[in-house]
Every structure is written in C-alpha cells, then in structure tokens.
Chain A
Amino acid sequence: MENFKVLTMAEMMANGEKPEVLFWVGCAGSFDDRAKKVTKAIAKILHATGVKFAVLGTEESCSGDPAKRAGNEFLFQMQAMNNIMILNGYEVTKIVTGCPHCFNTLKNEYPSLGGNYEVLHHSQLLQQLIDTGKLKVAGGTFKGKKIVFHDPCYLGRANNEYEAPRSVIQKLDIYLTEMKRSKANGLCCGAGGAQMFKEPENGVKDINVERAEEALQTDPDVIAVGCPFCNTMMTDGVKNFNKEDKVQVKDIAELIAEAIDIK
C-alpha cells in the first residue's frame, strides 16, 4: 500500500504485538484483480480508522467453502483444520472478511472443528466503526446518487444480515433503492454453491443476467455489492446489457473509501 505497510500475523508476532482483528482476505480478494481493489479499500479503511489489523498472508488458504458446497467434505475439512491450526496458533479471536462465503464458513462451520472466533463481514465492521465514531462518513462523492444493494445469499439469508450494508451506504447521503426481490427474497447472483467455478447447466438464461436486469430496472447509478463473486456476476450482467458506462458495480467498502477519499 502507498501510505502504510500491511503486516502479517507472523510479522506482528515477531514484533511482540497482537492485532485487534485479523483481516481474512480470501482467495478472490487475494488473486482476482477486481476483488483486490476491494481488499485494498478495506485495508485502507482499517488503517485510516486506527484499527490494528494483520493478515495471514501466504499462510492463508481457501476456507473450503466451494469444496463443501460442491460436496467435497474431505477437502473442506482438510482446509478447515489446517486453517484452524494456524488461526489458533496465532491465538486469533476476532476476524473480519471481505467475502460472505469465507464469513459464513469461518463463523458457522469452523466452531465444531475447533475454531471459535468472533467473525464479522466487512459491512458489519464498517457499521461498528461508524457507530463508535471511528469512521466518520457524511456524504461525499456519491451524494445524491441512486444506489441499489444486491444482497449476498451468504450474508443475507444464510446469516440474517440485511441491515449492516444498507445502513453503511446510507451514510453517504445517497438515495437507496430496492429491487423487487430483496433482503430475504433476494435473488442469488448465480455464483454460490461452487457455480462460480463451472459453466451453468442448460437453461434459457444465465442467473446473473436475470439479476442484473432486475437491478437495472431500478435505474441506479451504482449497484452495490458485498461479495467478490456477486461483484463479478453483476459486472458481467451489466455488461450483457451494455450499461457498463452508465452503471457502476461497486463493493460497499469501495464506496466508503472512495466517497471520503481514504488513502
């Protein structure tokens, strides 16, 4: 990063320090060019708000989510137990993730395998930072824009979190609108359950096209997302309608970081 160095757990431990929170970056956040921008936005916000954080860096490995949803329980548990060994080794207690799939897996499926942590999705941490006054957001570059939020399945239905992302982006003085299917009735982007990694089965339409169409019907300036997979799917969906010049697809962390120009 330009203005600060992101520390790994190993580096912090070597300095005899402990972070307040571990930032679990996730595979998409580490390797996907689009998702990397979201990762950087989250890191910038954490740094700017004085949250002492660290990442696992090269010690991080896939949470096992796509393997588990695809039915490969062996691979999932191998991944989970290796990750738990590392997390417990560093005595991690609090984790924030930029991916609802990692969030769900770490929060719900790691405990019975020996991994017990307080796990937050980045929208929840952002809300906490706003609530405690550490993150001050009022208006900014998106002020007055029309934004529609697409609920990630693994944040919304899977874990009942519909309000945190909405309340965070509402701080930008934007006009928040809803799709016909939203919150508990939200339509999947099409990537969950390991669909991200395969071609869809035969049908009449791609799911992301259906969902992007619904989002575009609200005539938004920005489609806000909270998941790297949704980000990819919605971006492709918008392109399918040749609307990429008019409608942006952005993660809520990017919206916050850009709106108030956090560096």
Chain B
Amino acid sequence: MISSILFTILLVIGVILFTKKIREVIRNIQLGRKLDLSDRSSERWATMARVALGQSKMGSRPVAAFFHVLIYVGFIIINIEVIEIIIDGVFGTHRVLSFMGGLYDVLIGSFEFLAIGVLAACFVFLSRRNIIKLRRFHMREMTKWPKSDANIILFTEILLMSAFLIMNACDYQLQMMGAEHYSRATGIVGAFPVSSMLLPMISGMSVDSLIILERSCWWFHIIGILAFLNYVPYSKHFHILLAFPNTYYSKLTPKGEFTNMESVTNEVKLMMDPTAAVPAVDPNAAPQRFGAKDVKDLTWKQLMDSYSCTECGRCTSSCPANLTGKLLSPRKIMMDTRDRLEEVGKNIDQHGADHDDGKSLLGNYITEEELWACTTCNACTEACPVNIDPLSIIVEMRRYLVMEQSSAPTELNGMFTKIENNGAPWQFSPADRMNWANED
C-alpha cells in the first residue's frame, strides 16, 4: 500500500516535471519566425515513416546503424514492459499482463534478448567514443558537456538494462522457490532466456534477500526511467522524441532551392515598377531585419532542428570545409543555435520577454569566418539522419551580414559590384557575351 502511494507520487512528479520542460521547449521553438508547413501532409507522413521510424538515412554507416537499431528497437519495445511496471506499481499487482499467457512469455523473452542487445550496443558505442576515439566525437565543438552527455546516457542505459535482467532473474528464482506473491499455481509466468543465465549468481540467496534484490532493481529501473525521461529534454538525446516531428516538417523542395525572401521581392518589384501592387505593410509592425542575427530571426523549424540534433557529427565529417581544416562545422552551428536559444529562454524566465542581454547567436557563438567557409554543397543536409538543415541557418546569417551589415569579404563585394555593373561576376563587357560563337 505504502509503496503504491510512493510510486504514484513519484510517477506524478516525474510526469509534471517533464511536461513543464516540454512546454518550455515549445515556447522556445515558438520564439522563431512564422513558417507555414501545413502543406503536403501525406508526403510528410511518408518522410517521417521512412526517415524517423524506418531510419533510412542511418544505413550509410552500417556499424553504427546496426547497433543504433538495436538500441532503438530495444527502447521502443521495452517501453511496453514499462506499461506493466506502471500498472503494477500503482495497484500493487505483480506481472499484471501475465493473463496473456503464451504471448506474455514471448514478450518477456524477447525483451530479454533486446536488453542484452541494448547492453552490447551501449558497450560498442562507449568504446567508439572513449577507446577508439572516432574523430567525429572529438572535434572542436565536442567540449566537456557534449562528451559527458553521451557517456551519461550510455551508462544509464547499461544500468537500466542490468537492473531489468537482475530483476527478472530474481523473479524467476522466486517463482521456482514458490515464494508468495511471485509464484502461481499455473506454473512459471514469463520466459527468462537471458536472465536465467544469472541464476548461479543468486542461487544461494534466501527468499527475503531475493525479494529485497528484486524490489531494489524494480525501483531502480522505474525511477531510472522517470529520471531519464526528465534528462532527455536537456540532452542531445532529445532526438528520440523530436526526430519524429522534425522529419515530418522536413524540407520537401529540392535541396538546391533556397527560399526567396518575400520582403525583398516586394521592394524589388517597387524598384522596377513604382506602380506595382505589393501587399501593404502594417505600419505598427516592428520592421523585420533581413536575414538572421539571433535565434529569434530564425524560423521555428530551424529552432526545432537545433533541439533535434543528437550531435552525431555526420554533417561535419562530410563537410568539405571542415574536412580541409576550416573553422566551419555544421554540427557546431546546430549546437550553438540550441545553446543560444536555451539562453534566450532562460532570460525570458528570469527577466521577462523584452530583456536584451546584449548577446546574439552571430558574434557571441558563431563567427563570420565559419559562415564564409560554406560552399552550400548540401553534404551536411544529405548526411543528417533526421533531416536537419544547417545550411539554411548559414545562408540566413550571410543574408544578415550582407544586407544589414554590408560585411561580406572584399572579394564578394567586388563580385556583387560586377554583377550590378556588367551582369556577370567577372569584369567583362556584356557586349562580349556572344564572342564565343565567333572564335575558333
């Protein structure tokens, strides 16, 4: 009875804290500029099914893809087990879903195989990060926190899976010993193909100690899951939830198509024809700056991108600028955007919506040198397993630099002038455009 109440209280606190953080994240994402992505919904569902659910873009790196699928399937299916744990916890029942009979045995048995798969994957991933030290996990932007974040998650999963298997082993042993509350007249409930191998380790224990061990693992497992749930929104691990909406709202136009800025279209139309009909501007609206200086100048989708990034570094490891030693790293662009957005969010919580901390994404986080190194080749967007678009953020900041600050590299300013004066990025007379046809 007491344990049921305690469990329910913990569950409610866990869910309330999680909801509060999620609302904060949604508020932060909505700080971005408006963008209507309500079109092409069937294509969007299909993209989400293919890229997020089906993990279609992971396969380009088969080793990571294989172990990632293990963790992913393990995570989703073991959550079915969590449903049972929650019901048992609230109502003081034990293995409440066992009425399913043979199916239940199959489920519990497969959870055990998945648990061992997840354990293996976590060890492989830990060694890739800490022993093999893959280059993309040790780049400039992979500072202390991003590194520990990944390790914390992997260790936690190892602990949770171990607790799950030890709990099952104790349960199995208790059932065989005929312990009250655990054993049934109908025989053994559940199948324990993996945890039964742990039996020799606990064979000498008394019923009372087994119950204490089983209960400790049970409590550890569920408290661990609640803690993990609340850790996720602060972590790179947020992708397990955001991969779905983020791929749903993927860019569906060709990768090479950049947005045409409507505000510019209206001005250009007026320049070419002062009588042109352009939408009237609301005189009370604050003028929007061209391009992006800070997170609020980005669209909500670009901000959602930043929360969806799991810092795997596939973008950066395929970026031609980064590969040849330039400062630019598309992953850093995403990490900086998220860090700055979190900072802006905290400012709002502490000082109100209009607070200006004098900082901005461009300048305090991202430097001009990084932005100008981009070749807009789309290798980063192609590589991202959850369809994040770092390139659009880079271009938006270039727009700010050029159109608000006139701060392009000198050679580019020269190129602009040549296009303006002679219609080509080089110094040639337009009259010579056809010369090729008359030369040998």
Contacts and interface: CB of A to CB of B under 8 A. Distances in A.
Q: Chain B interface residue count: which class?
A: 35 or more
Given A67-B419, A77-B260, A31 B428 contact: yes
Given A40-B436, A198-B412, A193 B375 contact: yes
B323 interface: yes
B123 interface: no
Interface residues of A, number: 74
Residue with the highest number of chain A CB atoms closer than 10 Å, among B267, B320, B435:
B320
Interface string A173-200: 0000000000011011011111111111
B432 interface: yes
Contacts of A206: 324
Interface stretch (B80-88, B197-205, B336-344, B394-402): B394-402
Given A30-B424, A74-B268, A199-B411, A157 B378 contact: yes
Nearest to B408: A70
B426 interface: yes
A191 B415 CA distance: 14
A73 B399 contact: yes
A190 B321 CA distance: 8
A71 B411 contact: no
A1 B437 contact: yes
A75 B254 CA distance: 22
A204 B256 contact: no
A102 B397 CA distance: 23
A207 interface: yes
Contacts of A2: 440
A157 B379 CA distance: 8
B143 interface: no
B33 to A, nearest CB: 15
Interface stretch (B170-178, B183-191, B366-374): B366-374
B30 to A, nearest CB: 25
A58 B364 CA distance: 46
A57 B256 contact: no
B257 A109 contact: yes
B346 to A, nearest CB: 30
Interface in A100-117: 104, 107-109, 112-113
Interface string B411-433: 11011100110011110101111
Nearest to B60: A185
A60 B434 CA distance: 10
A145 B32 CA distance: 54
A228 B402 CA distance: 26
B318 A185 contact: yes
A74 B267 contact: yes
B325 interface: yes
B261 A73 contact: yes
Contact of A203 (B324, B415, B438): B324
A66 B425 contact: yes
Interface string A6-47: 101000000000000000010101111000100110010000
A124 interface: no
Nearest to A60: B433
Contacts of A209: 324
A78 interface: yes
A202 interface: yes
A52 interface: no
A69 interface: yes
Contacts of B382: 157, 184-185
Contacts of A75: 416, 419-420
A158 B254 contact: yes
Contacts of A203: 321, 324-326, 373
Interface string B39-53: 000000000000000
A188 B265 CA distance: 30
Given A71-B401, A77-B268, A109-B257, A192 B425 contact: no
A62 B437 contact: no
Given A70-B415, A74-B267, A201-B373, A31 B402 contact: no
Contact of B290 (A31, A40, A73): A73
A171 interface: no
Contact of B409 (A104, A190, A198, A202): A198
10 contacts: A8-B434, A71-B399, A72-B403, A72-B408, A73-B260, A108-B257, A154-B256, A187-B323, A192-B375, A201-B327
Given A36-B436, A40-B437, 17 more contacts: A1-B437, A27-B425, A27-B426, A36-B439, A39-B436, A60-B433, A61-B430, A62-B425, A66-B419, A73-B403, A74-B267, A153-B379, A157-B382, A194-B415, A197-B411, A198-B372, A200-B324
Interface of A: 1-2, 5-6, 8, 25, 27, 29-32, 36, 39-40, 43, 55, 57-58, 60-62, 64, 66-75, 77-79, 81-82, 104, 107-109, 112-113, 153-154, 157-160, 184-185, 187-188, 190-207, 209-211
Among all A-B residue pairs, the 8 with the closest Cβ atoms? A158-B256, A71-B398, A204-B325, A193-B376, A203-B325, A61-B423, A188-B377, A108-B257
